[in-house]
């Protein structure tokens, strides 16, 4: 069976998403891979599809107990034989899984990194036919990342002990260039095929608010979205308790999660959220890694996290089914001071590090805290800020964040464009070329040492844009480059050059407009939501959810494991009335069509017939 047939038969999709096909092809060719893909982009399919094609066993190393259980449940619903090994299993269950795995009863086995050096597991691994080892949350292997886990250092030792080196694949949602290099080095990936598919999640809307009363702001939002599922992140256990109690007192179906609860209550509360018995989860960052709940409509950070990596990963738990979702951060200066205290007094110390290395890690934490603080206070596009942090070059206006919807204005830059192109031309007349920063400083009229030493303060264009901020001048330059009115070289030190279209700016004087941040940010925030969902029949959608819930209850799995809301909406749009038509619904594979097709198509036929 080829990769597309596997995708259709087991997972119910007709096409791969960006990056998936390339990663799968390279794994099947026997090559190590590193995939950096945002939350919800389909990383799991990149190793699950090859696992079903390759002979032998695929071992997935993951630190996330909740993810393992979720993935195994979902695979079972799709007809894939899989299991997991972690601390949630009893001794009897553990040895049963090992015995079944030894008898080749599974195609995929999830395992916690702490288990890799245990005697029993190693004995099993030495005789098993392990063809692929996948490292999920691979950023955890890097001590320069935001979530370093020493147990990940065991992975390479484990692989080296196997009689034959398997293909190694690694995946993460958040990795800067430095962390990406560290993943390749620490996991000893052999000339890996590496792809970063892009960090943008278009269905997510980003908002930063600075309310005087955070709970009042929170209460207003959850009242307006009372039927939706969401996560509220708080910085401390104490704040979790306060927010949870206050929302429960207002009559909301809320539960809580933090490291101070015992294992039983954490598990009970997590399942209440996953099974929609509680629509809102209030939690510290101890909750969420590996949570695959698809219908989370909002993630609210009651406090600012310590870095953008953590923020984007946590915010990314919203809208995993592709539906529009909101990511809101409630910011205050106190959040910065609390995070500074936590950095300076961190008890998480790796004994293998020297004192100098520990101080370097702290300095990196301080720098990351500065970056997220700037994110919370910028008047620029929030999406642009996030994507640039992760190494992308997005446009300066997204139209789907609080800043774009309140702090941007359409500006006529016709005259400014002429001034910028003229400046690049004047520099060219001197047989020179410079980068956009220096060009912007010339236009602004800077008289710093470098400008004077290069004689750029004598240019006729020096200071002709003194009434515009350097930030906005640079943004305009970016706009001109993006629209081919200027060129920027693609070497180590990029410089600006005239393009074929540059003369149009001077000769034809076309009217140019663009979105620019207002020089003075506004205080109020009023957001226009971008609606990505098609209109569907609410009555049919509700009945489909009820039918789905019956099957989920019988199977003792969360409802979204049976079908996501996105699949139900696709049923509403396509109105399938036969098995063949049911197979065209997104997320419906052959196994699910056999298992659920008759019941769902019967309901759809009933709803489609006039009463």
Q: CATH 3.40.50.300 spans which residues of the chain?
A: 3-196, 204-394
Q: By CB neighbour count within 10 A (0-12 exposed, 13-18 middle, 19+ buried), where does 531 fall?
A: exposed
Q: What is the pLDDT of residue 390?
A: 85
Q: Are strands 193-196 and 33-36 parallel, antiparallel or unpaired?
A: parallel
Q: What is the pLDDT of residue 352?
A: 63
Pick out the chain residues at pLDDT < 50: 520-533, 610-611
Q: CATH 1.10.150.80 spans which residues of the chain?
A: 538-608
pTM: 0.69
Q: CATH 1.10.10.10 spans which residues of the chain?
A: 408-517
Q: What is the pLDDT of residue 480?
A: 92
Q: What is the pLDDT of residue 597?
A: 93
CATH fold group of domain 204-394: Rossmann fold (3.40.50)
Q: What is the pLDDT of residue 527?
A: 41
Q: Are strands 193-196 and 229-233 parallel, antiparallel or unpaired?
A: unpaired
Q: What is the pLDDT of residue 563?
A: 92
Q: Which of 480, 375, 497 is nearest to 432 (CA)?
A: 497
Which residues in 13-44 are b (16+ Cβ under 10 Å) and which e? beebeebbbbbbebbbeebbbbbbbbbbbbbb
Q: Are strands 229-233 and 296-301 parallel, antiparallel or unpaired?
A: parallel
Torsion angle in degrees (nearest 10) through CA of 55, 59, 60, 65:
130
The answer to whether domain 408-517 has CATH 1.10.10.10 is: yes
The answer to whether domain 538-608 has CATH 3.40.50.300 is: no
Q: What is the CATH number of domain 3-196?
A: 3.40.50.300
Q: What is the pLDDT of residue 406?
A: 84
């Amino acid at each position: 069976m080829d990769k597309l047939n596997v995708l259709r038969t087991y997972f119910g999709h007709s096409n791969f998403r960006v990056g998936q096909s390339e990663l799968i092809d390279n794994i099947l060719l026997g090559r190590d891979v590193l995939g950096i893909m945002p939350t919800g982009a389909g990383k799991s399919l990149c190793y699950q599809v090859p696992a079903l094609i390759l002979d032998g066993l695929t071992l997935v190393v993951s630190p996330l107990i909740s993810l393992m259980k979720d993935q195994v449940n979902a695979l079972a619903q799709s007809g894939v034989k899989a299991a997991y090994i972690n601390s949630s299993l009893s001794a009897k269950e553990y040895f049963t899984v090992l015995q079944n795995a030894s008898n080749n009863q599974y195609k995929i086995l999830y395992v916690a990194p702490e288990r890799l050096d245990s005697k029993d597991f190693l004995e099993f691994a030495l005789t098993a036919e392990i063809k692929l080892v996948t490292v999920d949350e691979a950023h955890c292997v890097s001590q320069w990342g935001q979530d370093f886990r020493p147990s990940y250092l065991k992975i390479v030792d484990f692989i080296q002990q196997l009689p034959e080196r398997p293909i190694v694949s690694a995946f993460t949602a958040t990795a800067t260039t430095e962390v990406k290099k560290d993943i390749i080095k620490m996991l000893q990936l052999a000339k890996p095929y590496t792809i970063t598919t892009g960090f943008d999640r278009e269905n997510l809307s980003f908002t930063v608010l600075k309310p005087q009363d955070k709970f009042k702001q929170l209460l207003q939002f959850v009242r307006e979205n009372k039927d939706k599922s969401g996560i509220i992140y708080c910085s401390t256990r104490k704040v979790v308790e306060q927010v949870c109690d206050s929302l429960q007192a207002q009559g909301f179906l809320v539960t809580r999660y933090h490291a101070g609860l015992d294992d039983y209550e954490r598990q009970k509360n997590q399942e209440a959220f996953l099974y929609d018995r509680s629509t809102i989860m209030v939690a510290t960052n101890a909750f969420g890694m590996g949570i695959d709940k698809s219908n989370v409509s909002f993630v609210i950070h009651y406090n600012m996290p310590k870095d953008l990596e953590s923020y984007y990963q946590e915010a990314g738990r919203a809208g995993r089914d592709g539906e529009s979702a909101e990511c809101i951060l409630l910011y205050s200066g106190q959040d910065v001071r609390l995070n500074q205290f936590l950095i300076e007094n961190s008890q998480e110390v790796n004994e293998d590090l020297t004192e100098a290395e520990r101080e370097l890690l702290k300095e990196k934490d301080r720098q990351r805290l500065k970056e997220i603080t700037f994110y919370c206070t910028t008047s620029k596009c929030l999406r642009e800020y996030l994507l640039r942090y992760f190494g992308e070059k997005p446009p300066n206006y997204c139209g789907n964040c609080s800043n774009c919807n309140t702090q941007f204005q359409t500006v006529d830059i016709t005259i400014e464009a002429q001034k910028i192109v003229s400046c690049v031309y004047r520099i060219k007349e001197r047989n020179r070329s410079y980068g956009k920063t220096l060009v912007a400083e010339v236009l602004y009229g800077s008289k710093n040492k470098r400008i004077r030493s290069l004689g750029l303060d004598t240019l006729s264009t020096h200071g002709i844009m003194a009434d515009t901020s350097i930030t906005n001048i640079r943004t305009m330059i970016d706009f001109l480059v993006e629209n081919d009115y200027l060129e920027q070289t693609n070497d180590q030190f990029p410089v600006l050059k005239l393009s074929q279209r540059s003369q149009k700016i001077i000769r034809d004087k076309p009217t140019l407009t663009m979105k620019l941040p207002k020089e003075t940010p506004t205080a109020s925030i009023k957001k226009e939501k971008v609606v990505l969902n098609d209109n569907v029949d609410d009555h049919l959608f509700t009945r489909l959810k009820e039918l789905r819930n019956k099957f989920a209850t019988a199977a003792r799995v969360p409802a979204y494991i049976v079908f996501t809301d996105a699949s139900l909406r696709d049923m509403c749009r396509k109105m399938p009335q036969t098995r063949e038509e049911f197979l065209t619904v997104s997320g419906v594979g052959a196994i699910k069509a056999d298992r659920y097709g008759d019941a769902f198509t019967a309901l759809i036929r009933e709803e489609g017939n006039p009463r």
